[in-house]
Amino acid sequence: MNREDFPILSNNLVYLDNGATTLKPKVVIDKITEYYSSYSANAHRGDYDISLKVDNEYEKTRDLVKKFINASSRKEIIFTSGTTESINMIAFGFFKDYLEENEEIIITKSEHASNVIPWFKIAKDNKLIIKYIDLDDNYEVTIDNLKKIITPKTRVISLAGITNVLGDLRPLKDIIKTAHENNILVVVDGAQYVPHTKVDVRALDIDFLAFSAHKMCGPTGVGILYGKENLLEKLAPHNYGGGMNESFDNLNEVYLKPLPTRLEAGTPNIAGVIGFGATIEYLNSIGLSNIRKYEHELGKYLFDNLSKIRHITIVNKKPSSIIAFNIDGIFSQDVAVYLNKYGICVRAGNHCAKILKDEVGVKNTVRVSLYFYNTKEEIDKIIDLLKDKNKILNEML
């Protein structure tokens, strides 16, 4: 759908690496260009017209994000540089103080590095324990397996809403309900989740949510940290400096501004944040439920057709808009190089989920990740190229 909105698609690029980042529609590009060409002032500073315009546009994005995920208050929406920074702020700014020796953090083996390594680090520093929810035969998280590992020492569960290797959607509603019954907080890595399905932080009762604009047709270098207000109030800033202080005279008298500004020191990525506002309006105009439905169909089409090819082993046990597979006897990177010769972009590797290999037994795969602007014709094209193993062997070098 909506292919004509994307200038980059006018030259027949087949872009199937949407898990890594997504393409940008013209409305977003134009919005960013407009900022740089007609009102490129700083935010929260000036008393002149173009600076006021910056403030208005910047804060409008905050309102749009609040509505987009159904947060209660603008104070709960913090602009960051991306999912990675958001999760680091959550782990180091909040949980490092909150967790005590021998308390437990629960994650899974199919998390992205950005939702693993920050927890490893605070676990090491504070002598905490990391536990993994066992994945079932479909490599998915189930409530039963979660319940098995919860103990009175468990204080936080951090997991992706949708994973970046297999695209499975976690049963967040039940997970969060179970967690809260046990006084456990839940952090949701929304990098692959928020772009692909309607998210309602209040209905799900999510405690913290992190996501990136660039994975949902927005600019790079912008992300969101959502947290319930009472939790964010306790989150210590990792940056101190301009913009976030109320006043300072000496060592003992630095007064910080209230949320959300307290957590946004320094000149932010203004162009990016403003562009992200246009991104959300754009996605709203298509409708997240339409996106989900369309991707679901496309994912099934891809899965069914890949399944028919005998020399292909798919890691996923069921259809998904992210499919990981291998061609028997050919290294994933060689497959990616081969497809690149036909203008097709796919990813080869471990997709930053290095501990998933313990579960699925393969380290590297080819990954196709779809978004709403992909089409059945594009899938036909890749299926056609993958069908003939001799052709791959002949052309992959």
Q: How many residues bind ligand PLP (CB under 6 A)?
A: 14
Q: Could you tell me which of 109, 126, 289 has the C-alpha nearest to residue 197?
A: 289
* For another protein, the closer CB: 220 or 364: 364
* For another protein, the closer CB: 98 or 331: 331
- How many residues are listed for the chain in this entry? 397
| Nearest-approach distance from CB 332 to another protein, in angstroms | 7
* For another protein, the closer CB: 209 or 315: 315
| Nearest-approach distance from CB 363 to another protein, in angstroms | 6
Pick from 18, 61, 110, 114: which binds ligand PLP (CB under 6 A)? 114
Provide the total of helices (H) and of strands (E) in the chain, helices listed first.
Answer: 15, 15
Q: Residue 211 has which token pair?
A: 């996501």
Using CB under 6 A as the binding rule, whether residue 332 contacts ligand PLP is answered as no
Dihedral (Cα; 65, 67, 69, 71), 10-degree rounding = 100
Using CB under 6 A as the binding rule, whether residue 22 contacts ligand PLP is answered as no
| Nearest-approach distance from CB 221 to ligand PLP, in angstroms | 9
Residue 69, burial from CB neighbour count under 10 angstroms (0-12, 13-18, 19+): buried
| Nearest-approach distance from CB 191 to ligand PLP, in angstroms | 3
Pick from 212, 320, 369, 374: which binds ligand PLP (CB under 6 A)? 212
Q: Which of residues 143-202 bind ligand PLP (CB under 6 A)?
A: 160, 164, 189, 191-192
Q: Residue 288: enclosing H or E segment and its boundaries?
A: helix 288-307
Q: Which does 192 bind (CB under 5 to 8 A by kind): ligand PLP, another protein, none?
A: ligand PLP
Residue 44, burial from CB neighbour count under 10 angstroms (0-12, 13-18, 19+): middle
**63 to each of 43, 74, 77, 218, how far by Cα in Å?**
16, 6, 9, 16
**Residue 217 a catalytic site member:** no
Q: Which of residues 36-95 bind ligand PLP (CB under 6 A)?
A: 82-84
Q: Which position among 352, 362, 393, 396 bears the catalytic label?
A: 352
Number of CB atoms found within 10 A of residue 102's CB = 10
Q: Contact positions toward another protein, by CB under 8 A?
A: 330-334, 337, 340, 348-350, 363-364, 393-394, 396-397
Q: Which does 348 bind (CB under 5 to 8 A by kind): ligand PLP, another protein, none?
A: another protein
* For ligand PLP, the closer CB: 357 or 389: 357
Q: Could you tell me which of 155, 86, 159 has the C-alpha nearest to residue 126?
A: 155
* For ligand PLP, the closer CB: 204 or 385: 204
Is 326 in contact with 361 (CB distance < 8 Å)?
no
* For another protein, the closer CB: 90 or 353: 353
Q: Which does 115 bind (CB under 5 to 8 A by kind): another protein, ligand PLP, none?
A: ligand PLP
Cα three-residue angle 379-294-366, rounded to 5 degrees = 40
Strand partners, 248: 254
- CA–CA gap between residue 377 and residue 120 (Å, rounded): 43
Is 371 in contact with 357 (CB distance < 8 Å)?
no
Task: Give me the active site residues, please.
Answer: 352
**Can you give the binding site for ligand PLP, defined by CB under 6 A?**
19, 82-84, 112, 114-115, 160, 164, 189, 191-192, 212, 352
